Amino acid sequence: MKHPIELWVYLSASPLLWLTLTLFAWILATTISVRLKRHPLANPVLITIAVLSTTLWLFDVPYETFFEGAQFIHFLLGPATVAIAIPLYRQWQKVRQALIPMAAALVVGSFSAVLSIVLMGKWVGLSQDVLVSFLPKSATAGVAMAISSSLGGNPSLTAVLVVLTGIVGALVVTPLMNAMRIKDYAARGFAVGLTSHGIGTARAFDVDETAGLFAGIAMALNAIATSLIVPLLVRLVL
């Protein structure tokens, strides 16, 4: 018979424990979110990250050990990006009908997302490496990390900033749009998908189906737009 401490030492170093824990933390978080009627503050991504970060901190587990298990989930960001082709294909008729407002909002929005970081980041004096890692933060994680590492940024930092941007956008979109008296759910969805990628899209689907659809389209289009705009701006401005 082995001591329970030995079991903990064995399990806490294995990918199995952290993968299982991540999935259950997510199930718990989505249950809480549904119970609280999808209140913006009960964001499932935020809850899951908070639960797991606290656990790692309490038991003094290094992030690398956690990631050994969580990497299997992280890997799926690639195929999930490809998967955005499906809603785009299914809703192509709706996309074509709103083609001009979407194209305009895409170009203006994508430039605002990147330029606001360049200007404000320089103003508050962020270091160069933080700035480069910051620029693609409105693109979905897999894409943003690829852009960041190709320009000499830190992809891990980019990932954290992408997730934070997602959560902030998902939290503020409903009160902000209500305050601005925007009732067009296609426009609301498009804005949150462009700003806050998958996390914003998940939020939009909770609120309204049309909003979710346009958020998904905006996320797909902004993944492409950001990969074109960021390298260009880095060459021109930084």
Partner 1 sequence: MIKGIALLLLFQLLGESIVFTTGLPLPGPVVGLVLLFVAMQACKMLGLGLFAEAETAADGFLANLGLLFVPAGVGIVALWSQLQSQAGAILMVLVASAVLTLAITVWTFVIVRRFVGRE
Find the binding residues for partner 1 in span 175-234 (CB under 8 A): 176-177, 180, 182, 184, 186-188, 190-192, 194-196, 198-199, 201-202, 216, 218, 220, 223-224, 227-228, 231
**Residue 226 neighbours by CB under 8 Å, 6+ apart:** 110, 113, 114, 136, 138, 139, 143, 144, 147
Residue 206: enclosing H or E segment and its boundaries? helix 185-207
Vertex 135, ends 235 and 216: CA angle to 5°? 120
How many residues make contact with partner 1 (CB under 8 A)? 106
What would the two tokens of residue 68 be? 């050994």
* Dist. CA 238–CA 122, nearest whole Å: 10
Select the residue interacting with partner 1 from 34, 85, 237, 238 (CB under 8 A): 85
Restricting to residues 20-59, which ones interact with partner 1 according to CB under 8 A? 22-23, 25-26, 44-45, 48-49, 52-53, 56-57
Select the residue interacting with partner 1 from 146, 204, 213, 217 (CB under 8 A): 146
Q: Which C-beta is closer to partner 1: that of 17 or that of 138?
A: 138
Q: Which stretch binds partner 1 (CB under 8 A): 4-12, 34-42, 149-157?
A: 149-157
In Å, how far are 44, 127, 138, 183 from 176, measured between CA atoms?
20, 30, 18, 12
Q: Which C-beta is closer to partner 1: that of 70 or that of 132?
A: 70
CB of 3 to partner 1, least distance (A): 28
CB of 9 to partner 1, least distance (A): 20
